[in-house]
Structure 1
């Protein structure tokens, strides 16, 4: 069939009829993965019997609970996830906190505040009653005075959260 050529103002327009489909370039199917549900029924059946090593088995984010040894699957009980849910009977708090609640912001605790919260009361009582020994050490130290610095800080932080 001879194409029809039309020329208007120096431009040529070609009109032709084609009986074959347009190729529109080369197709590269290697970049389109066909694992699991994207393949045909025949492809899935072949993958179940003899999986192709280049086509990965996609698990969609689930963790395996065993391993495949030859044609059989070996389940490992330690790999099965165990969901531990606490018993909330008699729990008094509600499970919802409103977004309208003001943010609680606590400034960093200074050493002076820590000393005042834990030790000042006992030291002033010992001083007024004359129960301080040489070098102003207490004769009968209280449990608070025996605390390590980390334990004292933890105790004060729990007291501050109870007040707020």
Structure 2
């Protein structure tokens, strides 16, 4: 602190220079948020009875299950979280998959592979047993072979809607 002294007409003026701002006992509490657990016991008691609008009540990300009407809290049953857990009694799969499990990469089926997986076995059996007609149609068709194109499309769309 440096003091400069001036004398004028018998009076002495002293000027002080300070590098810090004068706070005069006041603090800017907007810079220092005081949430639920911070502050004195008296402050917490005052906040519990009559909360100050500038000091928010911090919920730590938890959603409210109601609203405050005057001094009473109104609970809304629809806002209470309900955890729905399926009954897994008799469930045979284990809940854990090891990170050492081998990744299985399989390309999507082509139409030729799908035809081979579904129809080739039946066609070769019919050919060996001589159960093919003059236009190479099966004389004893299976349920899948009897379907028309429209029925097959409906069956596939119903399977897809069950999956989705």
Contact kept, 8 Å, 2:36 with 2:44, in 1: the verdict is: yes
User: What corresponds to 2:99 in structure 1?
Assistant: 99
User: What corresponds to 1:5 in structure 2?
Assistant: none
102, 109, 131: which one aligns with 1:129: 131
Deviation at 1:113, TM superposition (A): 2.2
TM-score, length of structure 1 as denominator length? 0.59
Larger deviation: 49-58 or 23-32? Answer: 23-32
SS of structure 2 residue aligned to 1:48? helix
Contact kept, 8 Å, 2:131 with 2:140, in 1: the verdict is: no
Mapped to 1, the partners of 2:66 and 2:134 lie a distance apart of: 68
SS of structure 1 residue aligned to 2:37? helix
Mapped to 2, the partners of 1:126 and 1:96 lie a distance apart of: 46
SS of structure 2 residue aligned to 1:147? helix
Deviation track 1:51-72 (CA, whole Å, cap 9, x = no partner) reads 2222221111212111111110
Q: Which runs of no fewer than 5 residues in structure 1 stay unpaired?
A: 3-21, 159-164
Alignment CA distance shift 1:33-1:39 (3 Å): same
User: What corresponds to 1:88 in structure 2?
Assistant: 88
TM-score, length of structure 2 as denominator length? 0.59
Deviation track 1:82-114 (CA, whole Å, cap 9, x = no partner) reads 112222222222222222111121112223223
Matches within 5 A, 1:1-164: 23=20, 28-121=28-121, 129-130=131-132, 142-143=143-144, 145=147, 146-148=151-153, 151=156
Number of residue pairs matched by the alignment = 135
Larger deviation: 32-41 or 71-80? Answer: 32-41
